[in-house]
Amino acid sequence: MNYILEINAFEQWTETHYLPIPSQLLWYRLMSICNKAGWSEWVTVGNQRLMATLQMSREASFIKARDELIKAGLIEYQKGKKGCPNKYRMVSFTFKNEVQSVVKSVVQNVVKSEVQTEVESVAIYKLKQNETKEKDANASKKKFAPPSLEEVEAYCKERGNTVDAAQFIDFYASKGWLVGKVVMKDWKAAIRTWERNRTTTSFSQPKQSQRTKNKFNDFPQREYSEAEFLELERRLLQK
């Protein structure tokens, strides 16, 4: 223990901590005794000797001053037995500061490491979130590419429907590949819609008459050949 360093540390400590004057004088007296004893861990000294050096007449006042040092954590005390004085051990300021410095350094490093790891984890998570959002946005903004005639024909063949591929392409090309007012997103879905509509229409629409009716009467209209028309015209002229 370094005598000068301990005294300087004690003076600095009293600037920010309250300690009664009798307790301060007792601390200096105990430090002096420890110095003379070669800084033994524990020194043995009786109450009367310490009271004499402090010029205290009341033992109660001495005990109160000693209790203040114990309470402040500046000394450790072991009560003596009959014929054996009390024992005192000084708590080193420099040792406490070294320990606090080491502990502080370790704690700071651990906390810094944990905080840095947590911050990096949050940053990585946010980065992945942003990347996912960008991918979704790019996918949604991807422009519709009209299919080729071969692609439509191949899909209709795969579906086994009767949709006319050329008619399908011509119809939507004339509309700018819009479904209503929205650009088409899935032409295969449109093919399936046409397929369903054609199936429904084939059952709902009435069959056309196999024979064309004359618009002037209910008799079927007869189709004449050119020779028959000439013969009919000759007969009418003769009449």
Domain ranges of the chain: 3-94, 143-205
Positive or negative, the Cα torsion across 179, 182, 187, 190? negative
Cα 225 to its chain centre, rounded Å, is: 87
Please say if the pLDDT value at position 67 is more than 80: yes
Q: Which two tokens stand for residue 116?
A: 């840095």
Between 120 and 140, residue with greater pLDDT = 120
Q: Residue 238 has which token pair? A: 């003769």
Tens of pLDDT along 122-136? 778 777 777 777 776
Cβ neighbour number for residue 151 with a 10 Å cutoff: 15
Phi and psi at 184, nearest 5°, equal -60, 140
Instruction: Report the range out of 18-32, 138-152, 217-231 with the highest average pLDDT.
Output: 18-32
What is the dotted CATH code of the domain comprising 3-94? 1.10.10
> For residue 77, what are the β-bridge partners?
88
CA distance linking residue 66 with residue 126, whole number of Å: 60
The pLDDT of 34-41, averaged and rounded, is 88
Report whether 7 contacts 67 (CB < 8 A): no
